[in-house]
Amino acid sequence: MEKEVVIITGGAGYIGGTTAERFARSGKQVIIFDINRERVEEVASRIGAKGMVVNITDYREVTAAVEQVIAEFGKVDILVNAAGGSARSRMKRFADQDMEVIRDVIDMNLYGCLNCTRAIIPSMISRKSGVIVNISSAVALGGIAGCVDYGASKGAIIAATKGLAIELGQDNIRVNCVCPGKVQRPAEQPADPHAFAYKHSYLNYIATADDVADLVEFLASSKARYITGQNYVIDGGRSLGLRGDVNRTDS
Ligand SMILES: NC(=O)c1ccc[n+]([C@@H]2O[C@H](COP(=O)([O-])OP(=O)(O)OC[C@H]3O[C@@H](n4cnc5c(N)ncnc54)[C@H](O)[C@@H]3O)[C@@H](O)[C@H]2O)c1
């Protein structure tokens, strides 16, 4: 059977890399678009994928990379928009934040996703087949201090997912979104894992990239063939709100 062709942006990172490995193991042809040259080559050769150094904020660079993929593999069946992140070390209260940082965050998260989607969907439309999974964030649902730009860009991805699903359903293209809460990297183990899990989840642990990859894999598969335009929150229930206390008598 013909191999499915998957492009994963940010595939050199934690969630993207884990998802890329999952797809490669299940026999798909995986292509990673990532700006980190060293990591993209390392991950691609480890999992048997094709690694391409692509800055997804540059639409021309993205279209050239997509053309190269289609010339080599003939099609793109699945796009996973996983590249992104907050301002990290440059994070500040919005009132003090530099406009340059705000633009960078929105560029990477929102325009990165839109650029890749815009460059790939014409080929999906002409084949009347395709699946897109966008990685947003639970920050888009509730907001968080220091991440106004990030939350805004991730919220826009949820909205774009819905509009795209409406436009592309007639072409047999499904578009869904995933909103992870805190995802625990193996290298970032907290001093008190129980307290950390209590803070970030209503389950007794913090998600790993594998938990997110399970959901992405499902949404990209034919098992999700009737699902489009949806946003899936994967945060151990954290976005439900206050935990409450059954022993309290004052509320
Ligand atoms: N880790 C979490 O707790 C968490 C929670 C919610 C949502 N998310 C989202 O999940 C996605 C993956 O996060 P992660 O934790 O794996 O982060 P990560 O930093 O490990 O991976 C992100 C990848 O994106 C790549 N990238 C950044 N800018 C790029 C650009 N301009 N062009 C191409 N590639 C670029 C990076 O090089 C990196 O490999 C992100 O969209 C993030 O916002 C993460």
Instruction: Give 248 Cα–ligand 1 centroid separation in angstroms.
Output: 40
Domain-located, residue 102:
yes
Angle between helices 99-106 and 148-168 (to 10 degrees): 30
Q: What is the CATH number of the domain that holds 186?
A: 3.40.50.720
Q: Is the CB of 7 under 6 A from ligand 1?
A: no
Strand pairing report for 130-135 and 29-34? unpaired
Q: Is the CB of 182 under 6 A from ligand 1?
A: yes
Got the DSSP string for 197-231?
Answer: HHHH-SSSS-B-HHHHHHHHHHHHSGGGTT--S-E
Return the axis-axis angle of helices 37-47 and 14-25, rounded to nearest 10°: 20
Give the total residue count for the chain.
251
Containing structural domain, residue 108: 5-238
Tokens of 247: 């022993």
Q: How far is the CA of 244 from the centre of ligand 1 (A)?
A: 32
State if residue 135 touches ligand 1 by the CB under 6 angstroms criterion: yes
Distance 124 CA to ligand 1 centre (A): 25
Domains identified in the chain, total number: 1
In a domain? residue 244: no
> Model pTM?
0.97
DSSP 8-state class, residue 187: T
pLDDT in tens, 98-133: 999 999 999 999 999 999 999 999 999 999 999 999
- Please count the CA atoms within 13 angstroms of the CA of 250 that sit on its side-chain side: 0
- Please give the full DSSP string across 111-163, using - where no structure is assigned: IHHHHHHHHHHHHHHHHT-EEEEEE--THHHH--TT-HHHHHHHHHHHHHHHH
Q: Is residue 74 part of a domain?
A: yes
Q: Which atom of ligand 1 is closest in space to residue 84's alpha carbon?
A: 41
Q: Is 14 touching ligand 1 by the criterion CB < 6 Å?
A: yes
Query: Residue 136 domain-assigned?
Result: yes
The tens place of each residue's pLDDT in the chain, 251 residues long, gives: 799 999 999 999 999 999 999 999 999 999 999 999 999 999 999 999 999 999 999 999 999 999 999 999 999 999 999 999 999 999 999 999 999 999 999 999 999 999 999 999 999 999 999 999 999 999 999 999 999 999 999 999 999 999 999 999 999 999 999 999 999 998 989 999 999 999 999 999 999 999 999 999 999 999 999 999 999 999 999 999 988 888 877 65
**Selected catalytic residue, list 150, 198, 205, 232:** 150
Amino acid identity, position 63: T
Residue 141 lies in a domain: yes
